[in-house]
Structure 1
Amino acid sequence: MFALDNTTIIISAVLIIIALLTSFLNPFFRKVRIEEYDIPNQTKRNENTYNEVNKVEENKEMGVDTDIINEQVITLPPITIILTPHDNVQELIKNLPVYLNQNYPVDYQLIVVAPKNDYETSDILKRFASNKRLYTTFIPESSRYMSKKKLAITLGVKAAKYDWVIMADICCAPISNNWLQAIARNCKEKKELVVGYTRYEQDTPAYRQFERHYLAYYHMHEYQHNKAYACPFNALAFRKSHFLQEEGFRGNLKYIRGEYDFMVNKYAKENNLAFENSFEGTLIEEVPTEKIWVGSHLFYMENRQHMERTSRHRILPYIDQIALHGNYLLQCIALTGSLLFNTWTISAAVGLSLIITVFTRLIIGKKALKRFDINIPAWKIIPYEIAIAWNHLGYKLKYHRADKYDFISHKL
């Protein structure tokens, strides 16, 4: 029956308030800025510089003391890109030309570091040997006691001509020929790291696109509040001088994966990290295989145990998941109790709180996905949000059953 006693009113009000509040405990609700791509081409930069110099001269003639030259004129540094393919022949054929043909007005170098016995990769690289930007080197076969990926990156850094270096994955392709400009515009005097946004191809299963973006929101929020923890993306620019001074990957060389995570975790300090997530500054990653997808979760569970600030990073996701599941659990309990005791007022309140929960989370989620051009039907957002915690539990069980020697290069 419908009753309006104090207890019923309080329970109903609590259900509705909790439904509303917990909907905002959501990574998609936290503001993440999307950078605007506004780098002019080289001709416009030269024209702007010329015009500003004339203005300064005119001001001097008029007795105005000024030494400011157009702040919009962006100085792009010479830069080195490092790719480390391993049995990625098809990806190399498809993506290498995109990296080699970037619209970049300053000199840049592309270093490919491959295993010495990878003859297919060598054959592909010979096709591009005439390109003056391309430099190739190989990992020695004797490297057994350290991550080959980290070794390849280290060799690439040492071979780099320029202080600013970008490491990227060959399984990813720049979304446009302005990608390098978009990343490099962040390479400023007080910055030592630049993270570039990465997303999956549109053909990737919807849940995997959703989960990656959902979890990436935590990292993007941290970047923009100078609290960087790790890097779930596949483009990272850093200074060669700083890398060598701090001995590169020392401290995590034996861990097979996690190059980007360990780099950001080790080198990100205060406000020395910039984040580029404009459309032009995006990498598109190919559809992950089941092995790559599961492996990325298991390796991350291993690596995070050896990184700093892990507890701080995990607090917010835990709060969000407790709020998400706690709200639905409370609604289930209230509905069960109201049906047992025939308190239809509480049943109606449960229904209203569920409607508030669903519609609020759908609106927040759809808006956040749309901002990053991720096309997932709105009706999938609620089940996908719930699935993240349960899939995480499944990966955690797999991790605990796994041989821990699978995550390191020291097979002793």
Structure 2
Amino acid sequence: MLTFTLYVFIAIVVIQLFYYLIVFGKFSFTKAQEIEAKNIPISVIVCAKNEEENVIKYVPLLAEQNYPNFEIVLIDDASSDNTLDIFEEFEKKYSNIKLVKVKNNEAFWGNKKYALTLGIKAATKEHLLFTDADCYPISKDWITAMSSQFTKEKTIVLGYSGYEKIANSLLNKIIRFETLLTAVQYFSWAKIGKPYMGVGRNLAYKKEEFFNVNGFIDHIQIRSGDDDLFINQAANSGNTTISYNPESFTYSAPKTTFKDWFIQKRRHVATAKHYKSFDKMQLGLFFSSQLLFLLLPIVLLAFQFQWILVVSLIGFRYLVTWIVTGFAAGKLKEKDVMYWYPIIEIILIFTQINVFITNIFSKPAHWK
């Protein structure tokens, strides 16, 4: 039995090394990305529901971008606070802002995808750049950096959106590491030619891609997924590329309590079950191999069975994953989280198990 367990453990290590070296290495070891301004007309789209505190801070950052030809489409999704009033003031102040007012619709009650669809149809430019109301670009050249990756063939651009750093907060490091690892995964699979998701906090595509798949119609009944489910359906090896120059990054304020972050994680995991079969398989295999990599050595070392080999495999796997993830962290300006890597990884694995179990018994909440 112990011999069989050892063989399984060796297989798990091989699987992990495959993911990190063959898959994730595609992004981690790629060269730095240059920006070549193309100045194509861009519509920046922001959907907000009860976000008065955020939009008053962040919309001016969008309006003041160094870009010659862009409009901002602000979508108020039936807010009950002062979001609409603030948007109307911005519309008066900035000539390139267009306001879309969404009223509650019984068929699409509280559905962000309905609101986004109205905003996309109202956009006058063919190239669309999306971010969230609680999100902001770190550079005035954000539009330039994201739009520079568009080509005649590449009509979908996946960007990176991180979270602000909070000093002396382990939760903050966990959140940022999880965001980093997620980005490494979807960037790497996109480079391989199997794009499967993107994040709506920083995402761009041509309007034709939206209409080619009839918008969100195939998953309109699912409250979440205006970003990842759309990309899972519309993206392919020919039309998708990535943007990882630091000028293209956006940031958001992170959750400050484990409870709030856990709720957020539940939404993300619940959406992933609607991915294509291959994407669910590769994500499931990666997580399963992570979990078994933690559990199997406990059995083997408890009986001191081939402990030198087991410890050597553990050390080699951590060395490889630390290097690969570290290079990616450098590109995405998240190097500080790597000092806590082994601890954070363990916490994330067991948090993921908790999320899976919780989602079995109750449905997570979605758009406000």
Secondary structure of the equivalent of 2:93?
coil
Secondary structure of the equivalent of 1:166?
strand
Paired residues for 1:148-227 under 5 Å = 148-203=111-166, 205-227=172-194
**C-alpha RMSD of matched pairs (Å):** 3.2
Residues 86-134 of structure 1: per-residue CA shift (max 9 Å, x gap): 11112111111111011113x2110111034545113322432221111
Aligned to 1:314: 280
2:149–2:241 Cα contact (<8 Å) kept: yes
Secondary structure of the equivalent of 2:149?
coil
| In 1, Cα distance between equivalents of 2:77 and 2:283 | 38
| In 2, Cα distance between equivalents of 1:75 and 1:151 | 31
| In 2, Cα distance between equivalents of 1:197 and 1:137 | 26
Following TM superposition, by how much is the alpha carbon of 1:201 offset from its aligned partner in structure 2, in angstroms? Answer: 1.1
Which residue identity does 2:271 align to in structure 1? N
The 1:330–1:280 alpha-carbon spacing in structure 2 relative to 1, beyond 3 Å, is same
1:103–1:178 Cα contact (<8 Å) kept: yes
Following TM superposition, by how much is the alpha carbon of 1:37 offset from its aligned partner in structure 2, in angstroms? Answer: 3.1
| In 2, Cα distance between equivalents of 1:251 and 1:75 | 33
| In 1, Cα distance between equivalents of 2:208 and 2:11 | 51
Q: Which residue, 269, 281, 286 being the options, matches 2:236?
A: 269
Aligned to 1:109: 71
Which residue identity does 1:362 align to in structure 2? W
Which residue identity does 1:199 align to in structure 2? G
| In 2, Cα distance between equivalents of 1:99 and 1:349 | 55
Q: Which residue, 292, 295, 314 being the options, matches 2:263?
A: 295
Aligned residues: 355
Aligned to 1:145: 108
Residues 310-359 of structure 1: per-residue CA shift (max 9 Å, x gap): x31233344444444444545434433338xxxxxx45555544444444
Which residue identity does 2:157 align to in structure 1? V
Residues 173-210 of structure 1: per-residue CA shift (max 9 Å, x gap): 11100000111112222233222211111127101111
The 1:152–1:367 alpha-carbon spacing in structure 2 relative to 1, beyond 3 Å, is same
Aligned to 1:47: none
Paired residues for 1:12-411 under 5 Å = 21=14, 24-27=17-20, 30-32=25-27, 33=30, 35-39=32-36, 75-105=38-68, 107-116=69-78, 118-128=80-90, 129-203=92-166, 205-232=172-199, 234-244=201-211, 246-288=213-255, 290=257, 293-307=261-275, 309=276, 311-338=277-304, 346-403=306-363
Following TM superposition, by how much is the alpha carbon of 1:285 offset from its aligned partner in structure 2, in angstroms? Answer: 1.8
1:23–1:360 Cα contact (<8 Å) kept: no
The 1:381–1:120 alpha-carbon spacing in structure 2 relative to 1, beyond 3 Å, is same
Following TM superposition, by how much is the alpha carbon of 1:241 offset from its aligned partner in structure 2, in angstroms? Answer: 3.7
Aligned to 1:56: none
Which residue identity does 1:260 align to in structure 2? D
Stretch of structure 1 that moved more, 349-358 or 247-256: 349-358
| In 1, Cα distance between equivalents of 2:97 and 2:367 | 31
1:87–1:118 Cα contact (<8 Å) kept: yes
Task: Name the larger-Rg structure.
Answer: 1
The 1:156–1:351 alpha-carbon spacing in structure 2 relative to 1, beyond 3 Å, is closer
Following TM superposition, by how much is the alpha carbon of 1:296 offset from its aligned partner in structure 2, in angstroms? Answer: 3.3
2:78–2:102 Cα contact (<8 Å) kept: yes
Aligned to 1:67: none
**Unmatched 5+ residue regions in structure 1?**
1-9, 40-73, 340-345
| In 2, Cα distance between equivalents of 1:213 and 1:377 | 9
The 1:229–1:360 alpha-carbon spacing in structure 2 relative to 1, beyond 3 Å, is closer
Secondary structure of the equivalent of 1:216?
helix
1:16–1:352 Cα contact (<8 Å) kept: no
**Unmatched 5+ residue regions in structure 2?**
none
Give me the TM-score of the superposition, normalised by structure 2. Answer: 0.84
Following TM superposition, by how much is the alpha carbon of 1:25 offset from its aligned partner in structure 2, in angstroms? Answer: 4.1
1:37–1:279 Cα contact (<8 Å) kept: no
The 1:253–1:381 alpha-carbon spacing in structure 2 relative to 1, beyond 3 Å, is same
The 1:34–1:148 alpha-carbon spacing in structure 2 relative to 1, beyond 3 Å, is farther
Which residue identity does 2:159 align to in structure 1? G
Which residue identity does 2:129 align to in structure 1? I
Residues 65-96 of structure 1: per-residue CA shift (max 9 Å, x gap): xxxxxxxxx53211111111111112111111
Residues 146-190 of structure 1: per-residue CA shift (max 9 Å, x gap): 553112211111111111112210111111000001111122222
